[in-house]
Structure 1
Amino acid sequence: MATKPKLYYFNGRGRMETIRWLLATAGVEFEEAEYLETRKQYEKLLQDGSLLFQQVPMVEIDGMKMVQTRAILNYIAGKHNLYGKDLRERALIDMYVEGTTDLMGMIMILPLQPPEAKEKNFALIIERATTRYFPVYEKVLKDHGQQFLVGNQFSWADVQLLEAILMAEECKPDILSPFPQLQAFKGRLSNIPTIKKFLQPGSQRKPPADDKLIAQMKKIFNI
């Protein structure tokens, strides 16, 4: 029996959440290792030499201790046929993933910012989502008339776009109102059985960070 991937991170979204999304979508059961709650736990991983570049997330998978989020995601996507059928499709997937990564990164760091910066950056997130990022995906879906972003085949790019949409809706619930293609896309993707399961209460999906988790993260990483 294959060993389940084991995830090393704090009990929140951060950079691990997209990895959770991709594993869950691929139907891969995974375990959360002991959650990082103290600086001492993090330092133990560092002292053990487990963190190649002294950073989490780390995922134990197929006999490897993998670090660097993009490398982990590439591996999972490639292993589970979510990374296109040829070099051209992988290039398109990479471009679309980089776009959603940029948007999600803006949303991810918002709770860590000082109060005086939050209002300005919140407005910037909405502006960028609605004028820079979502119009691209709306046009792609409209122009090729297919259900998925690349090659009419479900891929990592689709998974991450859905994650980005849901994060943006947490900021502004009606953010998709100008984008009918993305509304339909969200509905289709949310009903894929593995994704539907991951979206249910009680799954391994994490909620947005609260003040307690943010304070804990700052202590762990000396932010």
Structure 2
Amino acid sequence: MSGKPVLHYANSRGRMEPIRWLLAAAGVEFEEKFIEKKEDLQKLKSVPMVEIDGMKMVQTRAILNYIAGKYNLYGKDLKERALIDMYVEGLADLYELVMMNIIQPADKKEEHLANALDKAANRYFPVFEKVLKDHGQDFLVGNKLSRADVSLLETILVVEECKPDALAKFPVLQSFKARISNIPNIKKFLQPGSQRKPRLQEKDLPKLMAIFY
């Protein structure tokens, strides 16, 4: 055993990608074992699964909470943890909305994406612009990196894949994106050749559908 966490999932983003992001931000090297067919999924019973510290953890939120706590990315007290949870849950809603566009029926894709981008521009990004502006610090909570910052950067980049100028009206978020992207562990994860997964393409859908459905 190498002692590295082992991640079990398909070779795609899905519900494992925020876990990859958080481990990378913590500077933790990890191994991946990709499921290739439905039989692989049936053997594991539930994914994402992460082998860490002698446990086989499932449920994305539980895994993220454990990693954040273990690597000091979860605030200094209960109040900060509550704020982090609140921000992360809100971001997860937007992230899922954008990511689910790929599986919409062809005649609904454009409308679905337009709705997701509208919510990003008019509901979610204004909130986080104000949070950062009012807080007056480099990070969302306290004055150190937390899982909320990692989640916000990941979500911004996912939205920008669909609308490159999504931050045009949000100067504070632009600064946040530049700042967090340059943190060494995160900068490394954003480089080509890292374990960050590319945006899902239509051609990849049949294989994933065969595993998960």
TM bin (shorter chain): over 0.9
2:129 alignment partner, SS class? helix
Please identify, of 131-140 and 206-215, the stretch whose mean Cα deviation from structure 2 is larger. 206-215
Displaced runs of 4 or more, over 6 A: none
* CA distance in 1 between partners of 2:47 and 2:32 (Å): 13
Q: Is 1:85 aligned to residue 84 of structure 2?
A: no
Alignment of 1:114-133 (within 5 A): 114-133=105-124
1:65 alignment partner, SS class? strand
Q: Is 1:14 aligned to residue 14 of structure 2?
A: yes
1:116 alignment partner, SS class? coil
- The aligned amino acid for 1:62 is D
1:70 maps to what in 2?
61
1:29 maps to what in 2?
29
| Structure 1 residues 131-155: Cα deviation after superposition (integer angstroms, max 9, x where no partner) | 1111111001111211000011210
With normalisation by structure 2, the TM-score equals 0.98
Q: Is 1:38 aligned to residue 17 of structure 2?
A: no
2:149 corresponds to which of 158, 173, 181:
158
* CA distance in 2 between partners of 1:97 and 1:43 (Å): 30
* CA distance in 2 between partners of 1:191 and 1:135 (Å): 23
Q: Is 1:216 aligned to residue 207 of structure 2?
A: yes
> Where in structure 1 are there 5+ consecutive unaligned residues?
47-54
* CA distance in 2 between partners of 1:115 and 1:36 (Å): 27
| Structure 1 residues 62-86: Cα deviation after superposition (integer angstroms, max 9, x where no partner) | 0000000000000000000000000
1:105 maps to what in 2?
96
* TM-aligned CA deviation for residue 27 of structure 1: 0.3
- The aligned amino acid for 1:195 is I
- The aligned amino acid for 2:182 is N
1:115 alignment partner, SS class? coil
- The aligned amino acid for 1:154 is L
* CA distance in 1 between partners of 2:166 and 2:111 (Å): 17
Aligned length: 213
Contact 1:100 1:164 in 2 (8 A): yes
| Structure 1 residues 76-102: Cα deviation after superposition (integer angstroms, max 9, x where no partner) | 000000000000000000010011100
* CA distance in 1 between partners of 2:128 and 2:6 (Å): 32
Contact 1:12 1:213 in 2 (8 A): no
* CA distance in 2 between partners of 1:125 and 1:45 (Å): 33
* CA distance in 2 between partners of 1:4 and 1:110 (Å): 33
1:196 corresponds to which of 163, 187, 190:
187
Q: Percent identity?
A: 66
